[in-house]
Chain A
Amino acid sequence: MTARPGPVSGAAPAPAPVSALERWRARAARQGAAVLIAALALAAFALLDLMTGPSGMTPGALLQAALAGPEGSERAAATIFWQIRLPQLCMGLIVGASLGLAGLLMQTILANPLASPFTLGFSAAAGFGAALAIMGGALVPLPLPGWLLTPALAFAATLAATALVWLVARLRGTAPETLVLAGIAVMFFFQSAQSLMQFMASPEVLAQIVFWLFGSLLKANWVAVSVSGTILLACLPFLVRDLWALTSLRLGETHAAALGLDVAALRRRAFLITALLTAGAVSFTGTIGFVGLIAPHVARALVGEDHRLGLPAAAIAGALILIAASVTGKALSQGAAIPVGIVTAVAGVPMLLAVILTKKGV
């Protein structure tokens, strides 16, 4: 009797090797599920945000107000739902998404994991513009109402800062390090100007400026939602167009250029979109830090560095962080909600430390 070669008795046959295509599909499914779970968490927090507030409305009363529409017979409930909580929620979603996207763009084009929309002084410029509007409105009668003039000047100042950073950086070829240095210079300039105005302001005006700088969703209304939402929507097609170009840039500027990418043009486009998204977000709400810094890291942890899912993940993560901060702010202080800018700043410190201590790549 001759022995026949074959599998050892009792041993399981070796599994067939999985092809790259199957592994690619499995990874895409895992990443898609992660984004879906984040979106569901966002939906849950959004619902919680609608139900939380100083009025003590029950979920049933809120549902009735929502179903009755803005002209519902219960005036108090209709006003609270349609004029306060829903616009604040929408604003939170838009601002969080905008800052998350802007943060991911900044970290990609500057190849710096600690970059955020505020690295380049955009927030300081917005604060300066707002302070100018508040002080100007207090000194002389202006053609625009204060609630419109303040975001308008904050928006204009942010775009002016963008132009200034770009012009300074252009003198040295708009390399990432030049952009960061120019941004830091511009940030200090606007912070100094803002401090000077605070020093010169009367106590009443100073209180208004400080409240604006806190960063709060309480300033939200439907006009603000429309303007910020339109800016966000207008930027999306440009981001979709550059999905793979942005992913290529993760390899580093030299490799991206060697792959035929016009890195300077991509950086210019992404820089402008970041400025628009940031200006659209902070002009109506004030300074909200850390969302733009942390959301891209959460996105990369969920879906990696492929920007096809990275951008939606950063938008969802940004919105989730901001809405969670809003719920926390309202839960911690029943009478007057703690501004989200303060909550995100406090919560952002441990998150930032976690990023610094665990970061491996760019």
Chain B
Amino acid sequence: MPESLEITLPALHRGRARVLAPCHLSLAPGEVVALVGPNGAGKTTLLQAIAGLAPERARLCLGGRALDRAEIGFLPQAFAVRAGLSVLDCLLLGQREALGLRVAPRLIAEAEALLCQLGLADLADRAMHDLSGGQQQRVLIAQRLFRRPKLLALDEPTSALDLHHQLEVMALLRTQAQTTSAPVLAALHDLSLAARYADRVLVLAGGQIEADGAPEAVLTPERLAQHWRIAPEILRARDGKPVIVPHLSPALVPDR
């Protein structure tokens, strides 16, 4: 039976300022966890520490075995690619360690299948620098999936996507997590999207993980008002998931 992924984080700093206290996260197999918080809360720093790209590095343990940096599929917030590599080349680089002087036909067929699955087959021969921001973001997510990581750590994976592709990508991440048992930890600014697709929401605020639980339990009007400084209106979607409509808090609206 698949085991939980245990993540131990030391105190994290940005420059000299401490952004996050030491903490421990436990991600169940196939779980989708949304990392939310206001700007500057430390979401990116936390994900970079997990990916081994911050000065302080997290310790990841799966079934008693320490995970290597290469086993984490990390997608950074700044994703723009200016290279002329084709989309298919880009996807294949996800399996860089398996590539030799000759690329195995099996890998090319698998990459093509994944591109088809994600609706990106038409872009396979296009150069990365010719793609729009949203197209690049989807290709890079595909590349991380092609890596078959033990954890997907995504920093704002829907930031450049239109509404249709936001839903498509989040649904795909859910399916992948369930199929492969690899958990997904995604920093999201869209709280409604987080509530709709995440099993769990972690709220980062005040230099710590301030709340951790089911979206309905965590995304309360009081918490949103406190940390995001908004007056939220929380509606219910057809499936009962919360939909957050933000309004500026009256106290923050300047007098006219």
Contact = CB atoms under 8 A, between A and B. Distances in A.
Contact of B129 (A24, A260, A361): A361
B34 interface: no
Interface string A234-263: 000000100111011011101101111100
Q: What secondary structure prevails in chain A residues at the interface with B?
A: helix
Contacts of B74: 258
A255 B129 CA distance: 14
Contacts of B85: 247, 250-251, 304-306
A242 to B, nearest CB: 11
A305 B99 contact: no
Contacts of A259: 70, 93-94, 96, 143, 147
B127 interface: yes
B76 interface: yes
Given A20-B88, A21-B112, A257-B53, A252 B83 contact: yes
Contacts of A300: 84
B140 interface: yes
B142 interface: no
Interface stretch (B102-110, B160-168, B177-185, B201-209): B102-110
A360 B78 CA distance: 20
Interface string B76-119: 10111111111011100110110101010100110110010000
Contacts of B143: 259
B69 interface: yes
B159 to A, nearest CB: 15
Interface residues of B, number: 44
A261 B99 CA distance: 14
A200 interface: no
A20 B111 contact: yes
B216 interface: no
Interface string A255-286: 10111110000000000000000000000000
Contacts of B70: 259-260
B59 to A, nearest CB: 17
A362 interface: yes
B84 A247 contact: no
Contact of A251 (B90, B105, B147): B90
A250 B96 contact: no
B124 interface: yes
B84 A21 contact: no
Interface string A74-110: 0000000000000000000000000000000000000
Nearest to B97: A260
Given A23-B125, A254-B78, A261 B96 contact: yes
Contact of B96 (A23, A244, A254, A257): A244
Nearest to A240: B101
A356 B144 CA distance: 33
A276 to B, nearest CB: 23
Contact of B93 (A19, A20, A247): A247
A245 B96 contact: yes
B75 interface: yes
A219 interface: no
A304 B81 contact: no
Interface in A4-48: 19-21, 23-24
Contacts of B81: 251-252, 255
Contact of B84 (A19, A244, A257, A360): A360
A249 B103 CA distance: 18
Contacts of B222: none
A23 B82 CA distance: 23
A305 B53 contact: no
B88 A305 contact: no
* Cβ-closest 6 pairs across A and B: A260-B70, A20-B112, A361-B129, A250-B83, A258-B74, A361-B84
28 contacts: A20-B88, A20-B112, A21-B105, A21-B108, A24-B103, A244-B99, A245-B96, A251-B90, A252-B80, A252-B81, A255-B76, A258-B53, A258-B73, A258-B75, A258-B76, A258-B144, A259-B70, A259-B96, A259-B147, A260-B71, A261-B96, A304-B86, A305-B83, A305-B85, A361-B84, A361-B128, A361-B129, A362-B82
Given A20-B112, A21-B109, 10 more contacts: A19-B112, A20-B115, A24-B103, A254-B78, A258-B73, A259-B147, A260-B71, A260-B97, A304-B85, A305-B89
Interface of B: 51, 53, 68-71, 73-76, 78-86, 88-90, 93-94, 96-97, 99, 101, 103, 105, 108-109, 111-112, 115, 124-125, 127-129, 140, 143-144, 147
